[in-house]
């Protein structure tokens, strides 16, 4: 079950989306303006925001900034369909962009894709050739055999799998996995990386990046 926030000032459109998505897989909440959307994001955790650009209160670009600080993925949903708007939205960090009017089937497909890409679904993530991560059960199998990971090792693995081929800074890894500020002298990240590599056979793929941190090569 994923929680989705619909930030949309036109009730008819919000309702249409809510009706299409609500069910066993998704539960939707509706915010009619940008301020209300920000308040709801602050109070509750959402897995995805469907965000209209032209919103009263605070516009979609402002709400997007807020979503980014909370690390909630965003799909822009808007009548503004020019190339410039599309590029601006994606540059600012939206995961996807849907132009109104849209087909509900298309919306559903994009919602599913973004949630999966961001590791928000209960689906199993694959890391070729032999790793399977069940994000609902928080279990990892290597070649079909379960591997026991500690909670932090699992969080670390998931972070890299969700950011494949991206060099992650030690301090941001520390902040995301340990939820605390990195003070610079800690070996915690390095020690956990070594254990994850060894347990999962990632010695050649979870590589150190000089002066930065680590990158998972896929
Ligand atoms: Ca609007």
pLDDT given for residue 87 in this prediction = 83
Fold observed for domain 124-216:
Arc Repressor Mutant, subunit A (1.10.10)
Angle at which helix 188-200 crosses helix 151-161, to 10 degrees, equals 80
The pTM score is 0.61
Distance 105 CA to ligand 1 centre (A): 21
User: How confident is the prediction along the chain (218 residues), in pLDDT tens digits per residue?
Assistant: 889 999 999 999 999 999 999 987 899 999 999 999 999 999 988 999 999 999 999 999 999 999 988 889 999 988 866 778 778 888 888 999 998 888 999 999 999 999 988 878 767 788 888 999 988 788 999 999 999 999 999 999 999 998 889 999 998 999 889 887 777 767 899 999 999 999 999 999 999 999 999 999 98
- Cβ atoms of 70 and 3 within 8 Å: the answer is no
Taking CA atoms, 69 is separated from 21, 22, 66, 152, 202, in Å, by 25, 26, 5, 22, 30
Q: Please report, for the chain, the start and end positions of each structural domain, with discontinuous segments joined by +.
A: 2-117, 124-216
- Chain-centre distance for alpha carbon 39: 20
Distance 55 CA to ligand 1 centre (A): 5
Class of domain 2-117: alpha beta
Sign of CA dihedral 192, 198, 200, 206: positive
Distance 107 CA to ligand 1 centre (A): 17
């Amino acid at each position: 079950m994923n929680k989705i926030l619909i930030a949309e000032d036109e009730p008819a459109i919000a309702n249409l989306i809510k009706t299409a998505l609500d069910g066993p897989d998704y539960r939707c909440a509706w915010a009619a303006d940008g301020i209300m959307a920000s308040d709801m994001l602050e109070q509750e955790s959402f897995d995805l925001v469907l965000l209209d650009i032209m919103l009263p209160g605070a516009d979609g670009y402002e709400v997007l900034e807020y979503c980014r600080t909370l690390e909630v993925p965003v799909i822009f949903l808007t009548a503004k369909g020019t190339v410039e708007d599309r590029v601006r939205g994606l540059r600012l960090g939206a995961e996807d962009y849907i132009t109104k009017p849209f087909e509900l089937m298309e919306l559903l497909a994009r919602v599913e894709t973004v949630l999966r890409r961001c590791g928000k679904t209960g689906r199993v993530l694959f890391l070729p050739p032999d790793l399977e991560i069940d994000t609902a059960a928080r279990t990892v199998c290597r070649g079909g055999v379960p591997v026991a990971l500690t909670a932090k090792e699992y969080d670390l693995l998931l972070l890299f799998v969700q950011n494949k081929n991206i060099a992650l800074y030690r301090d941001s890894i520390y902040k995301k996995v340990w939820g605390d500020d990195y003070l610079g002298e800690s070996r915690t990240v390095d020690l956990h990386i070594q254990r994850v590599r060894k347990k999962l056979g990632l010695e050649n793929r979870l590589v150190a990046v000089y002066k930065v941190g680590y990158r998972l090569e896929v």
